[in-house]
Structure 1
């Protein structure tokens, strides 16, 4: 039996609100855990960051939001932003989210291949992303795909 095809399609405007709330909730939860922050503060921080990054929603220049399709079913989302800060075009994966029932079946690997293809099509020389240190599952996936650590943030709690 073959796996259903996996594809990206541009996020529809009717999906934007739910996507934004998912990104905010996901990022806030991971950040709160990583830095031992309060949930309300992490949510406020996440909402602020998303508002800055996507001031025009789907029309924000250089930001590309996709639904991840497995066959005809939406099983996740992908957000890629383009930058030129180092003298060349680079893609940044702001969000890759798969539904819980879509995880552990190789979809993340397939979606990252699609993300790299999309980034090349947008003129990127490189693709990069951020992953919280405690997200070992994601870190293992990205390392197995050839991503390397380019910087580390470290924190110490001063009690």
Structure 2
């Protein structure tokens, strides 16, 4: 079966609430697992972070929210923010998500290429992201695409 084209489409206001809920839930689940935290606390933290990053929703400057399309079907989303912290424009992938049935077929690699193209088009010199340590599948993908570790957080439970 031939590969369907993969593209990004800016999300519209009717999709924003569902986008935010998916980001909050998926980030909270991964954070709760990584930090051995209660899910409800991780969800509260995730919602607070998303609200702080997108105070004006889709109108928040330098934040770009996309649906990932495979053919005509939405199979995931991508959230890119642009910063100017180190004297140059840098893109940050706040969230990338593919539906379970879209995984394992090379779509992640294709979406990352589209993310890099989008970041370049936004004037970014670099692109970066955060990945939880236990997400070895994503880490392998990013490393294979040339991403390198630039900082490392470590934690020890004292209880």
Q: TM-score range by the shorter chain?
A: over 0.9
Give structure 1 regions of 4+ aligned residues with deviation exceeding 4 angstroms.
none
Task: Tell me the residue number matched to 1:37.
Answer: 37
| Correspondence for 1:22 | 22
1:29-108 → structure 2 map (5 Å cutoff):
29-108=29-108
| Number of residues of Structure 1 aligned to a counterpart in Structure 2 | 159
The equivalent of 2:134 in structure 1 is: 134
Separation (CA, whole Å) in 2 of partners of 1:98 and 1:12: 18
TM-score, normalising length: structure 1: 0.99
Q: Which runs of 5+ in 2 are unaligned?
A: none
Q: Secondary structure at the match of 1:4?
A: coil
CA shift digits 1:43-93 (9 cap, x unpaired): 000000000000000000000000000000000000000000000000000
The TM-score normalised by the length of structure 2 is 0.99
What is the alpha-carbon distance in structure 2 between the residues aligned to residue 67 and residue 39 of structure 1?
26
Helix, strand or coil: the match of 1:157? Answer: coil
In the other structure, the counterpart of 2:125 is 125
Tell me the alpha carbon deviations over residues 132-152 of structure 1, each in whole angstroms, 9 at most, x when there is no partner.
000000000000000000000
CA RMSD of aligned residues (A): 0.5
